[in-house]
């Protein structure tokens, strides 16, 4: 079933409008409606829940079923939804046994308008007991409404798990239960590190990675609690907050959730290049459906607004990257939110026009069956990034602060005391830009992804300095043994992710190629080198440089869809080389373009993406 | 619109982290437009005196330089978090942070321009009481900025105060079905009354409603203190309704500006002694006005008008 979803918060929409809203969404081509199920909205007192009136989740699900839709639910425990205290009941956030602990020993406050609140520790045994109680209450309402008896097909496990956005290396969590878990995992009786120490660099980096493991462990426990609540028959998924992929271990979280972990995207057209790169990482790394569980449609009132054009361009950029499922957030507008597909009276907003056209085009194309052809994998490895995060001069501030500062290709790693962190990011950025320049279709594969994700490509490019993740290094050896071309450099790594010599594992992958030391500042030269990794495609942009074409084919290899992306600040007319007898039909408009002597001229405004259906005469 | 032009056109700045005794620069980064990331730490000379910061800004071609001691972020975080409670609102949280930073100004935090020294950090209670005094509960504040060609509304905000808080905020989109944006922008000097009526019907009784064209905003920001009054007289700015305290402030600003211009004109004709006596008289008049209780900002411990007169320096074009 295609996952083209939209969010509707039942408790924020008057019950009398539920059916109209659901029918409108279904009429636009939405297949899945999703909603949070917020703990604080339903809990009146510990163990007492209110499921009446607009809060009647069961009745809303019955309406979803009657409207011919299916439902995905997100019972938390973390909700956000712009709710005060992110949907945690007051008694939970006020409980000292539950509160996470900062390096300074006190609670960890998250400033989230209109209030700040102390976040819970995901290691706290007491917290997990409370969550299990909440999930039991949800299970009583939802279990009888699981597909096919009802509309519920999927559950999201928690929400944007990233230490509540406070992901600085030594910010938290120093809760006693977390420290006990750290000691058990590290086999070390010493306290966890609370600041960067170059003499203790390996332990600091291990602490950073342990926090990824800690989050994965919490998600596993939440999943088990959902199972015990009678919800074990539903598909599971997760989501990551907007941000760079360097700081989240997507493959590990997918294993913990037991399903796809997607990315949430709230961006304007000015960020198309970043959006595209996040999509390439998701598509290259997930073991499941590449999914965007929250695709911004509207915006929070206290953040910079996005226009309809922004949101359409970002949606198309994600699809151009290969995203195959998404859910618009919001489908129905509501308090603490501006915009959405429908207004608060469940009437279509102007946004509904392009959303309806897009969903119709995706359905006609059988979008989830199409794949982007990629021959090259660019590997995102985190050994240097972890040392960069641990040695950040802005700690305990999270890396997102450094990313927002706009520090160039090195991003927040420019703030690291460990110089390899920024240099590695610059090399990764150079390789990505060079592949774009050479018009080599590529995916970004996370170092933690399964071997099959590596072997799905003919060539694997891995920027390396002096350290590399030992497991990744072995995997590259396996890929080379399976006759894949492996390109590393500019340095040959001799240490593992903790700074230990690679020793017996140090052998280079067979027939490894190298990026030249000066290539980081010679994009054209690097592009020439990397172009040799893949044969010239039948489809490419002749000019101008910087315009990107993404081609999608069906299982038989027939090209069905084409995206042309202009991430620049000036409108262009791109000359696109296509096979003879090709015509393109704008998927969101009426324009039809036909090739002349193998070339199509495609006009694309600044910061925009165009999607075409492809027709080829035999 | 409220971002200083220098920041708008050259949003590039530098951050330095220093540590140790004697202090050394461990990281210097150039952020923003044309970012260079980490650069040679020798770009900043220590100690971080105003002269050294200004030299660094010039050398790196940045609009601002911030210097932090390596431990100060963790210290400030610990201090602020120790004072937070779950019922503090955003303004109270922000004041806690500002106070913690101001305490470290020159002792762990340095900047050029020295904004921390300029910005006051009043206690939350006087701020709330002043807000309550100026804006009654169950009323609405409305502000519209119209594009210079009167084609559309450049920005709009409708804020409702209830129970001491701003608890509802909307834009013209909330009134768009009753008053089309294009019609309002075209005839805003008369159509504003319909906006006020709609705000009253849909939100709350308007307490302050301001309507202005964009070019006028720029003029007011950098012009002399009586620009606001003069633009109102010329109907390039409409504040309707306007509370009594606001009209009083505008009148005072006009009188002060006229006196200042007169004094400047006379200055060249008067001997130094007479100039000093006139200046002293003006200062005493200003103090008397402040102490009379007539100033609606008396409880704050600082005068927002004087603060603005200082800050607007940063809105003027740089040479």
Residue range B251-278, pLDDT digits in tens: 666 655 655 655 565 556 556 665 666 5
Q: Per-residue DSSP letters for A311-329?
A: HHHHHHHHHHHT--EEEEE
Token pair, residue B319, equals: 């040479």
Please report the sign of the dihedral spanned by the C-alpha atoms of residue A334, residue A339, residue A340, residue A342: positive
* pLDDT score for A370: 97
How far is residue B250 CA from its own chain's centroid? 17
State what percent of residues in chain A have pLDDT above 90.
94
- CB distance from B169 to chain A under 8 Å? yes
Tokens 């602020």 sit at which residue? B80
Token pair, residue A228, equals: 């015990």
Compare all CA atoms of chain A with the CA of B13 and give the residue at the minimum distance: A405
Span(s) in chain A for CATH 2.60.40.1180: 540-616
Which positions in chain B touch A195 (Cβ < 8 Å)? Answer: 74
Compare all CA atoms of chain B with the CA of A171 and give the residue at the minimum distance: B74
* pLDDT score for B291: 55
Which positions in chain A touch B29 (Cβ < 8 Å)? Answer: 405, 407, 414-415
Q: Which pairing describes strands A152-156 and A70-74: parallel, antiparallel, or unpaired?
A: parallel
- CA Rg value for chain B: 23
pLDDT in tens, A162-176: 999 999 999 999 999
Query: How close is the nearest chain A Cα to the Cα of B162, in Å?
Result: 15
Q: Per-residue DSSP letters for A18-48?
A: HHHHHHHHHHHT--EEEEE--HHHHEEETTE
Longest dimension (CA), chain A: 72
In degrees and rounded to multiples of 5, residue A226 shows phi and psi of -65, -40
Closest CA to A160 of A280, A265, A7: A265
Q: Which CATH superfamily is domain A540-616 in?
A: Golgi alpha-mannosidase II (2.60.40.1180)
Distance CA B3, CA B7 (A): 7
Averaged confidence pLDDT in chain A: 96
Architecture of domain A376-531: 3-Layer(aba) Sandwich (3.40)
| Cβ–Cβ gap B89/A114 under 8 Å | yes
- CB distance from A88 to chain B under 8 Å? no
Please report the sign of the dihedral spanned by the C-alpha atoms of residue A575, residue A576, residue A577, residue A581: negative
Q: Per-residue DSSP letters for B194-247?
A: HHHHHHHHHT-EEEEEEEEEHHHHHHHHHS-TTHHHHHHHTTSEEE-S--HHHH
List chain B residues with pLDDT less than 70: 5-10, 251-294, 317-319
| Cβ–Cβ gap A408/B35 under 8 Å | yes
The mean per-residue pLDDT over the stretch A545-552 comes to: 95
The mean per-residue pLDDT over the stretch A507-525 comes to: 94
Q: Which pairing describes strands A582-586 and A592-594: parallel, antiparallel, or unpaired?
A: antiparallel
pLDDT in tens, B135-174: 999 999 999 999 999 999 999 999 999 999 998 888 898 8
State what percent of residues in chain A have pLDDT above 70.
100
Closest CA to A118 of A87, A85, A89: A85
Q: What are the distances in angstroms from CA B280 to CA A376, B274, B283?
A: 77, 10, 5
| Cβ–Cβ gap B90/A113 under 8 Å | yes
Q: Which B residues, 82 through 101, put their C-beta within 8 Å of a C-beta on chain A? A: 82, 84, 86-90, 93
Task: Answer yes or no: are the C-beta atoms of B107 and B174 closer than 8 Å.
Answer: no
* pLDDT score for B256: 59
How far is residue A465 CA from its own chain's centroid? 26
Compare all CA atoms of chain B with the CA of A102 and give the residue at the minimum distance: B78
| Cβ–Cβ gap B89/A117 under 8 Å | no
Q: Which pairing describes strands A371-372 and A325-329: parallel, antiparallel, or unpaired?
A: unpaired
pLDDT of A235 over the 90 cut: yes
CATH dotted code for A31-230: 3.20.20.80
pLDDT in tens, A493-508: 999 999 999 999 999 9
Query: How close is the nearest chain B Cα to the Cα of A107, in Å?
Result: 7
The mean per-residue pLDDT over the stretch A471-490 comes to: 97
Those residues whose C-beta lies under 8 Å from the C-beta of residue A451, and which sit 6 or more positions away, are: A475, A478, A479
| Cβ–Cβ gap B33/A405 under 8 Å | no
pLDDT of A220 over the 70 cut: yes
Helix/strand/coil for A98 = coil
A557 C-beta neighbours (distance < 10 Å), count: 8
Q: How confident is the model at residue A476 (pLDDT cuts 50, 70, 90)?
A: very high
């Amino acid at each position: 079933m295609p996952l083209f979803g939209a969010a509707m918060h039942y408790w924020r929409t008057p019950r009398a409008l539920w059916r109209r809203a659901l029918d409108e969404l279904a009429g636009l081509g939405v297949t899945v409606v999703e909603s949070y199920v917020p703990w604080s909205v339903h809990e009146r007192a510990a163990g007492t829940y209110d499921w009446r009136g607009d809060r009647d989740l069961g009745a809303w699900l019955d309406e979803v079923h009657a409207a011919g839709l299916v439902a995905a639910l997100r019972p938390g425990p973390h909700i956000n939804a712009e709710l005060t205290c992110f949907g945690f009941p007051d008694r939970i956030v006020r409980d000292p046994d539950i509160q996470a602990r900062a390096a300074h020993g006190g609670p960890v406050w998250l400033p989230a308008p209109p209030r700040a609140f102390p976040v819970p520790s995901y290691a706290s045994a007491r917290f997990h007991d409370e969550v299990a109680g909440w999930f039991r209450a949800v299970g009583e309402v939802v279990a009888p409404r699981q597909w096919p008896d009802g509309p519920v097909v999927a559950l999201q496990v928690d929400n944007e798990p990233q230490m509540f956005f406070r992901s600085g290396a030594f910010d938290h969590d120093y809760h006693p239960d977390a420290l006990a878990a750290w000691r058990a995992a590290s086999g070390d009786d010493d306290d966890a590190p609370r600041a960067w120490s170059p003499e203790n660099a390996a332990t600091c980096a291990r602490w950073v990675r342990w926090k990824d493991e800690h989050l994965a462990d919490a998600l596993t426990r939440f999943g088990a609690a959902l199972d015990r609540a009678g919800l074990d028959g539903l598909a599971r998924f997760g989501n990551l907050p907007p941000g760079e992929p360097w700081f989240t271990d997507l493959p590990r979280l997918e294993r913990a959730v037991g399903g796809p972990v997607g990315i949430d995207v709230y961006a304007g057209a000015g960020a198309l290049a970043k959006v595209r790169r996040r999509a390439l990482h998701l598509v290259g790394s997930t073991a499941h459906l590449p999914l965007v569980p929250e695709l911004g449609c509207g915006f929070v009132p206290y953040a910079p607004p996005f226009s309809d054009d922004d949101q359409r361009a970002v949606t198309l950029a994600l699809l151009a990257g290969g995203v195959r499922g998404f859910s618009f957030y919001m489908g129905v507008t509501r308090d603490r939110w501006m915009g959405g597909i429908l207004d608060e009276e469940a009437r279509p907003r102007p946004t509904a026009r392009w959303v309806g056209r897009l969903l119709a085009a995706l359905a006609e194309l059988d979008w989830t069956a199409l794949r982007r052809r990629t021959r090259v994998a660019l590997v995102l490895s985190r050994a240097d990034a972890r040392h960069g995060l641990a040695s950040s001069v802005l700690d305990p501030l999270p890396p997102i602060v450094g990313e927002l500062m706009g520090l160039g290709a090195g991003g927040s790693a420019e703030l690291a005391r460990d110089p390899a962190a920024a240099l590695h990011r610059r090399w990764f950025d150079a390789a990505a830009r060079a592949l774009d320049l050479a018009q080599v279709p590529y995916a970004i594969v996370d170092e933690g992804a399964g071997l099959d994700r590596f072997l799905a490509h003919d060539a694997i490019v891995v920027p390396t300095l002096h350290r590399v993740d030992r497991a990744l290094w072995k995997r590259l050896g396996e890929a080379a043994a399976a006759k894949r071309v492996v390109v590393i450099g500019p340095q040959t790594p001799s240490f593992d992710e903790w700074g230990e010599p690679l020793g017996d594992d140090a052998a280079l992958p067979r027939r490894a190629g190298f990026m030249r030391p000066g290539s980081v500042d010679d994009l054209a030269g690097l592009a020439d080198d990397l172009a040799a990794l893949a044969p010239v495609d039948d489809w490419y942009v002749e000019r101008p440089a910087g315009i990107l074409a993404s081609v999608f084919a069906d299982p038989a290899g027939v090209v069905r869809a084409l995206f042309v992306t202009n991430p620049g600040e000036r409108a262009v007319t791109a000359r696109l080389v296509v096979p003879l007898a090709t015509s393109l039909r704008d998927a969101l408009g009426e324009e039809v373009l036909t090739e002349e002597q193998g070339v199509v001229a495609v006009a694309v405004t600044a910061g925009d993406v165009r999607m075409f259906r492809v027709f080829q005469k035999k | 619109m409220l971002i200083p032009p220098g920041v708008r056109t050259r949003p590039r700045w530098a951050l330095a982290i220093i540590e140790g005794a004697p202090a050394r620069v461990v990281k210097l980064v150039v952020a923003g437009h044309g970012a260079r990331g980490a650069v040679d730490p020798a770009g900043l000379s220590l100690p971080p005196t105003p002269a050294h910061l200004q030299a660094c800004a010039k050398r790196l071609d940045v609009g601002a330089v911030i210097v932090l001691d390596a431990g100060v972020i963790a210290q400030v975080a610990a201090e602020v978090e120790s004072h937070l409670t779950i019922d503090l609102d955003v303004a109270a949280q922000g004041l806690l942070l500002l106070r913690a930073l101001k305490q470290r100004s020159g002792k762990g935090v340095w900047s050029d321009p020295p904004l921390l020294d300029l910005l006051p950090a009043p206690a939350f209670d006087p701020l709330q009481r002043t807000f309550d005094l100026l804006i009654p509960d169950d009323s609405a504040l409305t502000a519209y900025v119209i594009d210079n060609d009167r084609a559309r509304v450049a920005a709009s905000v409708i804020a409702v105060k209830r129970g001491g808080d701003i608890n509802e905020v909307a834009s013209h989109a909330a009134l768009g079905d009753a008053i089309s944006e294009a019609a309002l922008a075209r005839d805003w000097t008369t159509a504003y009354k319909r906006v006020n009526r709609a705000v009253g019907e849909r939100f709350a009784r308007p307490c302050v409603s301001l309507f202005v064209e964009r070019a006028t905003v720029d003029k007011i920001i950098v012009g002399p203190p009586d620009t606001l009054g003069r633009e109102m007289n010329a109907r390039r700015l409409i504040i309707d309704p306007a509370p009594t305290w606001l009209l009083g402030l505008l009148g005072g600003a006009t009188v002060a500006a006229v006196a200042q211009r007169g004094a400047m004109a006379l200055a060249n004709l008067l001997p130094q002694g007479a100039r000093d006596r006139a200046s002293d008289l003006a200062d005493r008049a200003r103090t008397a006005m402040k102490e009379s209780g007539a100033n609606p900002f008396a409880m704050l411990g600082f005068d927002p008008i004087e603060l603005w007169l200082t800050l607007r320096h940063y809105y003027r074009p740089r040479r």
